[in-house]
Chain A
Amino acid sequence: MELFFNPFDNLVCILLGISFTVWFTLLLVFIIVPAIFGVSFGIRRLYMKTLLKIFEWATLRIERGMYLDSAPEFEMSDIFYFARRGVESIMDDEVTKRFSAEELESWNLLTRSNNNFHYISLRLTVLWGLGLLIRYGFLLPLRVTLAFTGVGLLVVLTSVVGLLPNGRIKNFLSEKVHLMCYRICVRALTAIITYHDSENKPKNGGICVANHTSPIDVIILASDGCYAMVGQIHGGLIGVIQRSMVKACPHVWFERSEVKDRHLVAKRLSDHIEDKTKLPILIFPEGTCINNTSVMMFKKGSFEIGATVYPVAIKYDPRFGDAFWNSSKFGMVNYLLRMMSSWAIVCSVWYLPPMSREEGEDAVQFANRVKAAIARQGGLVDLLWDGGLKRGKVKDTFKEEQQKLYSKMLVGTQEDRSRS
């Protein structure tokens, strides 16, 4: 018995050893080294194009299938859908696509995004099953490995850099280390990001303001530039990361008790900005994650400080999966797992020209102006509502406004009626 097992064992060991080596070499060459140097082989873009073709095919099949299902009850109105889609494609603005994407009729082979999924054809189900296998069996482990590598390197290297005396070398190294680790994290999510207008990138002494859809926003922005993060110190793994990051370069972390004190927060932020050697601060004024179709109210705090504001618009392509984190529904780990088992995260980042508060403009007006600029660029709807709606109750002033609008409507209809 023993004789039988030994050669077999050896063989298995050798095979495992070889496959691990190959695996790590590929990982290193194709993913980690380019991340370090900031170059790209273009593999992700090729991947994205291939995915799109497959989605198109799947969508057509689903459309036909859905149609087939209702074929016995064919309605004359069924033509509306095709007519509308056709005209939309003629207009084919990036923006129309984004708007109509909410009613995502397309199927990106993730059942979680298509509630109407039912058995259409064997081919489609097989494709979906294959997709599941690839995503959970191959992509997820790969990505988790990369994520651990990225985070681990971040913690270790920033601590090492933190040992150096303050000066130019430290800043230089800190920048390189941060960029490298974030780039690895970007690859860990298979995020395909297109940056527009990089000449407007935020500079030292400024505040970078962006719309917030998910915690990934931070990684997306930080892999293209160095920012000082702002936030509350957490416990656990995130706390460890935060503490080691601040060793390498100054970030603005607050204790939980300090967060409530608005003056303290404002003071620390303005102190940071005045020091021109410190990196621009990254802030998400919405305060919470929004579902990437609209930009909700910007909290005015960051706009009171008086620094130059560099707005940034981030827009995710919904065809590849919904990046929105509904924190009241899913926890962070759950969310990250969902992200890592999607096909890819495709988004666009626009760096908008810097804005400053004008004479006679108060913080709220300035905030709204910046918000409008971001919404316009990203093709998002500019909404009045406070993002905190997701969790809390509507503030009374807004209720009043809506009541006014509604009563206008009612009175308007009354007038119509009396006229006709």
Chain B
Amino acid sequence: MGSSNSSVNNIPNAQELMQETGFSAAHILRLHERFEFLDKHKCGQLRPQDFGAVQELALNPIGDSIISAFFSPGQETVDFASFVRILAHFRPTDRNQSRDGAQQEPANSSIRKLKFAFQMYDQDRDGKISRAELLQVLRAMLGIQVTEEQLQSIAERAIQEADLDRDDAISFDEFRKSLEKVDIDHKMSIRFLR
């Protein structure tokens, strides 16, 4: 820790990133160190395999979905800026955040956190969680603990409760409505990132 003589200035676009994401210089520095640690081939970009090296992630039921959240469709690598932008979603919301309508939605707002969570379900990114996608995620989370029938009935109930326009899929709005009462900031924030 005491040996890090590198300052934030060595990182390209650090100031813009700090502005955009709200991370402090210390956090950017730390995340950069982490990025370089994950980047085993030292090419300045991360690949899905680099994420796969994180053991705990491999054990996570939705590990693959999380990894793919970092990569825009069609892209096979992610650079530091995008890495930080995604992680910014997990910053705790600033309570006394005051912004006028002209400013962009901050990365760690409730809506962005919800969108991230939605992406975990909506793998093909078509804006809707289909029954098949829901089943897939449920299977990953429950594994062999539940029988196929129980799985089906759980998925059925979930869709029935959330799907308001009866199109057999859950859109982002329906997703958001069903989570109205949930404290999203608390559940989708990593307190260390404050």
Residues of A whose CB lies within 8 Å of any CB of B are: 56, 60, 64-65, 67-68, 71-72, 74-93, 95-96, 99-100, 197, 352-353, 376-377, 409, 412-413, 415-416, 419
Contacts and interface: CB of A to CB of B under 8 A. Distances in A.
Contacts of B38: 90
Contacts of A80: 117, 182, 184, 187-188
Contact of B145 (A64, A74, A87, A92): A64
A79 B120 contact: yes
A125 to B, nearest CB: 16
A273 to B, nearest CB: 25
A89 B56 contact: yes
A203 B188 CA distance: 46
A78 B141 contact: yes
Given A77-B179, A409-B96, A90 B192 contact: no
B67 to A, nearest CB: 8
A89 B54 contact: yes
Residue among A76, A88, A352 facing the most chain B CB atoms (10 A cut-off): A76
9 contacts: A65-B145, A76-B170, A80-B117, A80-B188, A82-B62, A91-B192, A377-B1, A412-B98, A416-B98
Given A71-B146, A197-B2, 14 more contacts: A67-B145, A68-B146, A71-B145, A76-B162, A79-B137, A80-B182, A80-B184, A82-B62, A87-B190, A90-B87, A92-B54, A95-B192, A100-B190, A352-B2
Contacts of B188: 80, 83-84
Nearest to A88: B190
B154 A74 contact: yes
B42 interface: no
B51 interface: yes
Contacts of A75: 182
Given A68-B145, A71-B154, A84-B188, A90 B51 contact: yes
**B-side binding surface: helix, strand, loop or mixed?**
helix
A210 to B, nearest CB: 17
A83 B121 CA distance: 11
A92 B56 contact: yes
B62 A83 contact: yes
A413 B158 contact: no
A251 B180 CA distance: 62
Contact of B179 (A76, A92, A95, A352): A76
A373 to B, nearest CB: 9
A78 B137 CA distance: 11
B178 interface: yes
B166 interface: no
Given A64-B143, A76-B179, A90 B2 contact: no
A402 to B, nearest CB: 16
B172 to A, nearest CB: 12
A89 B60 contact: yes
Nearest to B182: A77
The 10 tightest CB contacts between A and B, nearest first, are A89-B56, A80-B187, A86-B66, A99-B192, A86-B60, A96-B192, A77-B182, A68-B145, A412-B96, A82-B62
A288 B154 CA distance: 51
B59 interface: yes
Interface string B100-140: 00000000000000001100110000000000000001100
B30 A93 contact: yes
Contacts of B191: 99-100
A413 B95 CA distance: 10
Contacts of A99: 190-192
A412 B66 CA distance: 37
Contact of A89 (B31, B57, B189): B57
Contacts of B141: 67, 78-79, 82
B71 interface: no
Contacts of B182: 75, 77, 80
A285 to B, nearest CB: 21
A90 B54 contact: yes
A5 to B, nearest CB: 56
A83 B190 contact: no
Contacts of B56: 85-86, 89, 92
Given A74-B157, A412-B96, A91 B87 contact: yes
A83 B117 contact: yes
Interface string B57-78: 1011111001000000000000
B80 interface: no
Contacts of B60: 82, 85-86, 89
A83 B116 contact: yes
B158 A76 contact: yes
Nearest to A92: B54
Nearest to B178: A76
A64 B142 contact: yes
Contacts of B193: 91
A415 B191 CA distance: 27
Given A93-B34, A409-B96, A77 B57 contact: no
B59 A60 contact: yes
B142 A68 contact: yes
B111 to A, nearest CB: 14
Interface string B144-155: 011000100010
Nearest to A95: B192
A100 B54 contact: no
Contacts of B189: 84
A412 B95 CA distance: 10
B175 A76 contact: yes
Nearest to B60: A86
**Residue picked from B2, B34, B170, most chain A C-beta under 10 Å:** B2
B142 A82 contact: no
